[in-house]
Amino acid sequence: MNMTTEWELSQILNNKTLLNNTKFYKMGIQVPTKTVINAAK
């Protein structure tokens, strides 16, 4: 499983276009992007 590093995550969070096209998965279940953004704050 490919884990996103914190640096990669910060790059994604800083790029709104990329962020909107990125699907986040946790334990194989898709997680809404808003959940990831809120967790990163």
Tens of pLDDT along the chain (41 residues)? 567 788 888 887 787 777 776 776 666 677 777 777 777 77
- How confident is the model at residue 7, as a pLDDT? 82
Q: State the DSSP string of the chain.
A: --PPPHHHHHHHHH-HHHHHT--EEETTEEE-HHHHHHHH-
- pTM here? 0.33
Q: Is 35 exposed, middle or buried (0-12, 13-18, 19+ CB in 10 A)?
A: exposed
